[in-house]
């Protein structure tokens, strides 16, 4: 199941955002910008379908679904413009093409820890997939306790005029890791308002990340024994 947090690019909205941020004359061409969005969105659909197919195949052959669910999202133009400013990238179409890989994103929530690498291997072994970036926050969790495997893959999209490739960001994590990340995200957001709470819960949250990992590992053990 893919939950679609659909956010189709609305050109009117994009122009308004660009004007609001005073960037309208720095971005050379709204049309090229929307072309990038289109390509990234189609690449996202390709990757989503590949992952659904892999899950179907695994389920048919091994009676197990590695994927619990997936969520797709397109970065909205306002956050894209904010990111370009924050990271100090050039405000040009070429710079967006070269630097921003997470306009199209898919989160793959797996049932068990082992499924993360099962999904990764099966995807990146496909001939038309190229891994552009890989960050393994599972082998090496972040200092706050965050765990996930982040990939950026590039995939071809077949357009009327021929094939073009585009990058898609993939976050692969278990249900427990996903649950943890949602809470931590909420806390971090709230902490802008109340820094005392940040202090209060940071250590506790890190500890829950470790506990969740232990629980998921033992549940995986039980499940495998029952298979
Ligand atoms: P950004 O995309 O600007 O964040 O840069 P990056 O490519 O350096 O980031 P990274 O690959 O580390 O993380 C990308 C995404 O992973 C973020 O946008 C979040 O969705 C998620 N993420 C990373 N670190 C954390 C974290 O500590 N907590 C939570 N809840 N999510 C995180
Ligand atoms: Mg990001």
- CB of 184 sitting under 6 A from ligand 1: yes
**What's the confidence (pLDDT) of residue 2?**
74
Q: What residues does each domain of the chain span?
A: 2-172
Return the best residue to mutate from 150, 172, 178, 188 for the ligand 1 pocket (most ligand atoms within 8 A of CB). Answer: 150
Residues with CB under 5 A from ligand 2 (ion): 102
CA of 70 to the centre of ligand 2 (A): 17
C-alpha to C-alpha distance for 63 and 58, rounded to whole angstroms: 7
pLDDT-based confidence at 106, cuts 50/70/90?
very high
**What's the confidence (pLDDT) of residue 23?**
58
**What's the confidence (pLDDT) of residue 156?**
98
**What's the confidence (pLDDT) of residue 28?**
53
Buried b (16+ CB within 10 A) or exposed e, 74-101: bbbbeebbebbeeeeeebebeebeeebb
**What's the confidence (pLDDT) of residue 94?**
86
- CB of 178 sitting under 6 A from ligand 1: no
C-alpha to C-alpha distance for 45 and 82, rounded to whole angstroms: 25
Residue linked to tokens 């050379």: 28
Give the 3-state secondary structure of the chain: CEEEECCCCCHHHHHHHHHHCCCCCCCCCHHHHHHHHHHHHHHHHHHHHHHHHHHHHHHHHHCCCCEEEEEEEECCHHHHHHHHHHHCCCCCHHHHHHHCCCCEEEEEEECCHHHHHHHHHHHHCCCCCEEEEEEECCCCCCCCCCCCEEEEEEEEEEECCEEEEEEEEEEEEEHHHHHHHHHHHHHHHHHCCCHHHHHHHHHHHHHHHHHHHHHHHHHHHHHHHHC
**What's the confidence (pLDDT) of residue 196?**
82
CA of 1 to the centre of ligand 2 (A): 22
- CB of 133 sitting under 6 A from ligand 1: no
The residue count of the chain comes to 227
Q: What are phi and psi of 29, to 5 degrees?
A: -160, 110
Which residues 6+ apart lie within 8 Å of 78 measured at CB?
Answer: 17, 21
The arrangement of secondary structure in 2-172, i.e. its CATH architecture, is 2-Layer Sandwich (3.30)
Which active-site residues does the annotation give?
169
Q: Which ligand is nearest to the CA of 171?
A: 1
**What's the confidence (pLDDT) of residue 195?**
80
Q: What are phi and psi of 168, to 5 degrees?
A: -135, 135
- CB of 134 sitting under 6 A from ligand 1: no
Top pLDDT among 31 and 59 is at 59
Q: What is the pLDDT of residues 60-78, one digit of tens each?
A: 999 999 999 999 999 988 8
Q: Which ligand is nearest to the CA of 75?
A: 2
Task: State pTM to two decimals.
Answer: 0.91
Nearest CA to ligand 1 atom 23: 146
Average pLDDT over the chain reads: 90
CA of 102 to the centre of ligand 2 (A): 5
> At residue 29, does pLDDT exceed 80?
no
- What ipTM describes this predicted complex? 0.95
Top pLDDT among 180 and 85 is at 180
User: Longest Cα pair distance anywhere in the chain, in angstroms?
Assistant: 62
C-alpha to C-alpha distance for 157 and 189, rounded to whole angstroms: 36
The tokens of 139 are what?
């082998």
Q: What is the pLDDT of residues 147-166, one digit of tens each?
A: 999 999 999 999 999 999 99
pLDDT-based confidence at 39, cuts 50/70/90?
very high
Q: What are phi and psi of 144, to 5 degrees?
A: -80, -10
Return the best residue to mutate from 181, 188, 209 for the ligand 1 pocket (most ligand atoms within 8 A of CB). Answer: 181
């Amino acid at each position: 199941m893919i939950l679609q947090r659909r956010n189709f690019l609305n050109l009117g909205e994009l122009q308004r955002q660009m004007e609001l941020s005073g960037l309208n004359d720095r971005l050379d061409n709204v049309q090229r910008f929307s072309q990038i969005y289109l390509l990234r969105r189609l690449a996202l659909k390709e990757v989503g379908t590949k992952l659904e197919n892999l899950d179907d195949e695994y389920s048919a052959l091994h009676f197990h679904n590695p994927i619990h669910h997936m969520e797709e999202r397109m970065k909205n133009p306002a956050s894209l413009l904010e990111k370009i400013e924050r990271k100090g990238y050039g405000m040009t179409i070429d710079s967006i093409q070269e630097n921003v890989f997470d306009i199209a994103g898919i989160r793959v929530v797996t049932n068990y820890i082992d499924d993360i690498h099962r999904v990764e291997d099966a995807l990146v072994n496909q001939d038309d997939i190229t891994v552009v970036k890989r960050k393994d926050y599972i082998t090496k969790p972040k200092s706050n306790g965050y765990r996930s495997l982040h990939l950026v893959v590039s995939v071809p999209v077949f357009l009327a005029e021929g094939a073009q490739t585009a990058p898609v960001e993939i976050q692969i994590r278990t249900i427990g890791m996903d649950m943890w990340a949602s809470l931590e995200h909420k806390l971090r957001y709230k902490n802008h308002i109340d820094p005392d709470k940040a202090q209060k819960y940071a250590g506790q949250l890190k500890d829950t990340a470790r506990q969740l990992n232990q629980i998921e590992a033992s549940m995986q053990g039980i499940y495998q024994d029952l298979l």
